[in-house]
Structure 1
Amino acid sequence: MAARTTAVIEKWSTGLVEPERRLDYWIGAVCECFLEMDITTPVRSDFDCSVQRGQLDTIGVNRVEGSAQHVYRRKASLARSASNFYYLLCKTDNDWTVMQNGHASRLQPADLVLLDSRRCYEFNFPVTANTLSLELPIAWVDSWITDPERRIGQRIDGRAGWGAALSAFACQLTPQLAIERPLPARVLTDQLGALLALAFESEIPATPSEARDATKLLDQIGRAIRLLYAEPGLTAATVAGHLRVSERTLHRCLNKSGLTFSGLLNECRMAAARRMLSEPRFDHIGVGGIGLRVGLPDPSHFIRQCRRHLGMTPGAFRRHR
């Protein structure tokens, strides 16, 4: 879903209507500016709220000010919404609470939280509704955060570590800045994405081309090991040199797939040993000779590896085939 675009600051204010109609007007304004939501308030006669919105590239920058309120996004609201986004919220004046995805978080001034409009949520502003709300396209968040679904509703500490850096940067974003940009919009949105990834301690997801390259390298590593496994003392450095990549690149590629070089090498060697020990045509080769052929010239080490991977010694495996 494409983000909304505008070159002007949009404004909604309950100051334009009679006091008795202000809550209804505000609910309509929130649904127009953000999403379908329901709102209640403990404030009766003096209820007053406003919101300003600017567009920074694909990101909507919203500043809300006004009275205490409780905001709900229920299943009926989800059904009425044509578009969905993530929202990054931050308050700097007082505590508030939020619930989503099984998380109930109490947030203090400068803390942040990421919400997903595709799921029900609620938040309570017990004193004021003064809030920064950044509307983030789903595809944009997915490009910066690994598995954002498990992070929604969780408090980001806005006073420590990268959370503090994210809070400080985000709070500088205003609808006015979104229109009168001090830097190219892409520079500002990339900075926001990078800080969000750091605050969540998330690896930035690979692009499709990077994912294809990683898959290709993983296949090449596997083929190289199958080609070279019979060399005694085969190392990751040797395979990396064969593939013309650094040893660090090789290990990083394997680690991202939950693999290790030694694990792949041992599996390859033991698969070859199992095959030779299973076939009668190799019976003229002694156990030590089989070990030598799979790159394990030390008989005792070969026997230990067979016990570990085949569940018995090579001699016993040969007898029980």
Structure 2
Amino acid sequence: MSAHVEWSTRSVDETDAFDYWRDMICDAFVQLSARPRSPEPFSGHIAHSDLDTVQLSTVTAGPQQVDRTTSLIARSHEEFVLASIQLDGRGVVQQSGRDAVLDAGSMAFYDSTRPYTLGFDGPFRQLVVQVPKRALTTRLLTDGTAVPLGRDGPARLVSDFFVGLARGAGSGAEMQALAPHAIGLLDFALGIAADGARPNQAAVSRRVRDAVAAAADQPDASVDTVAAACRTSRRTVFRALSEDGTTFTELLRAERVRRAAQLLRTRPDLPVAVVAARSGFAGPAQLHRAFRRELGTTPGEARTITPPGADRHP
């Protein structure tokens, strides 16, 4: 059965309006925190409809910032994909280091299982579509990044459908029959948005390689270190290296050998143990094994050899 409910700050005193609003948005969506962005009196209204697995909320409100924080995520078990369709005003969705700008007519997807921020500097109106992740076959990017969908072509058809569905959701149970079609259409739109948002693979690979090079002299360098430096996920790092035909271990070892070989040539006075430490190796034994594997020689012999790629990172 479909259900429709409306909340408004008009039902409380002006001094209590924003506190009431915080409760409203938590009832309509996932657990959220919020703060106003204007000293002016706040007002807000939400028309919320529940069509089986599809929840539609038309939000009309004043300037504010809404946050889905790590602590709020930890205290809840909701796993939703949300789509904001901007009807009036302007907003920004921020997730995983990416901003999706929402102008009137545009649409953006984001993931409730990752922290995000919604920002509105002025009055706005938007439709928020909320669907359990399990109901969709298409997934957001592996790092949970907010992805935008434009306002023309297929995007316009998708947004028009959901705006019409929200408008009629409170008028009768027959709208329930459209819920399965809504899921399929949302899957379609999410696929378009995710494909358009995927970064250039060559650029990702370059960033990963640069991050490995920067971290190689640290004994505790790891995939997590590189992922954090690239502001992406572990899976993205693994995928970029796999498509380059290498692994994190292989790339890290090769970079450390390159650094060690450069030190051996330019600083012949340094003991092998010092070279190993400055290059990120745990000790001389690990350094010897890596040289045998990468160069087929010993550190001592390598003092007179210029290895491939020696000038790549001066």
Both proteins in one fold, TM over 0.5: yes
1:169 to 161, 178, 182: 161
Percent pairwise identity: 19
2:71 to 67, 76, 81: 76
Shift in CA distance, 120/10, structure 1 to aligned 2, threshold 3 Å: same
Equivalent residue, structure 1, for 2:107: 112
Equivalent residue, structure 2, for 1:123: 118
Do structure 1's residue 196 and structure 2's residue 222 form an aligned pair?
A: no
1:27 to 22, 26, 30: 22
In structure 2, distance between residues paired with 1:198 and 1:171: 20
What TM-score, normalized by structure 1, do the two folds share?
0.55
Amino acid at match of 1:163: A
Equivalent residue, structure 2, for 1:207: none
In structure 2, distance between residues paired with 1:64 and 1:170: 14
SS in 2 for 1:127: coil
C-alpha RMSD over aligned residues: 2.5
In structure 1, distance between residues paired with 2:122 and 2:64: 8
In structure 2, distance between residues paired with 1:107 and 1:45: 23
Unaligned runs of 5+ in 1: 1-5, 203-257, 259-321
In structure 2, distance between residues paired with 1:201 and 1:84: 18
Q: Report deviation, 1:148.
A: 4.5
1:120-179 per-position Cα deviation (integer Å, ceiling 9, x unaligned): 0001111224110011111122x2x155445741211122x3222222222222164266
Equivalent residue, structure 1, for 2:35: 40
2:128 to 114, 128, 133: 133
What TM-score, normalized by structure 2, do the two folds share?
0.56
- Residue pairs, 1:123-272, within 5 angstroms: 123-141=118-136, 143=137, 145-146=138-139, 148-149=141-142, 152-159=145-152, 161-174=153-166, 176-177=168-169, 180=172, 181-182=174-175, 184-193=177-186, 195-197=188-190, 199-200=192-193
In structure 1, distance between residues paired with 2:140 and 2:119: 26
1:8 to 3, 12, 23: 3
Do structure 1's residue 53 and structure 2's residue 48 form an aligned pair?
A: yes
Q: Report deviation, 1:70.
A: 1.0
- Contact 2:69 2:116 survives alignment (8 Å): yes
SS in 2 for 1:30: helix
1:91-113 per-position Cα deviation (integer Å, ceiling 9, x unaligned): 12122111102211222211111
SS in 2 for 1:184: helix
Equivalent residue, structure 2, for 1:309: none
In structure 1, distance between residues paired with 2:113 and 2:194: 23
| Larger of the two Rg values belongs to structure | 1
Equivalent residue, structure 1, for 2:290: none
In structure 2, distance between residues paired with 1:139 and 1:57: 13
- Contact 2:111 2:140 survives alignment (8 Å): no
Amino acid at match of 2:156: A
Shift in CA distance, 72/146, structure 1 to aligned 2, threshold 3 Å: closer
Q: Report deviation, 1:189.
A: 2.0
Shift in CA distance, 167/199, structure 1 to aligned 2, threshold 3 Å: farther
Aligned length: 195
1:90 to 78, 85, 89: 85
Amino acid at match of 1:200: A
In structure 1, distance between residues paired with 2:52 and 2:155: 23
Amino acid at match of 1:188: H
- Contact 2:80 2:112 survives alignment (8 Å): yes
- Contact 2:100 2:147 survives alignment (8 Å): yes
Unaligned runs of 5+ in 2: 196-242, 244-314
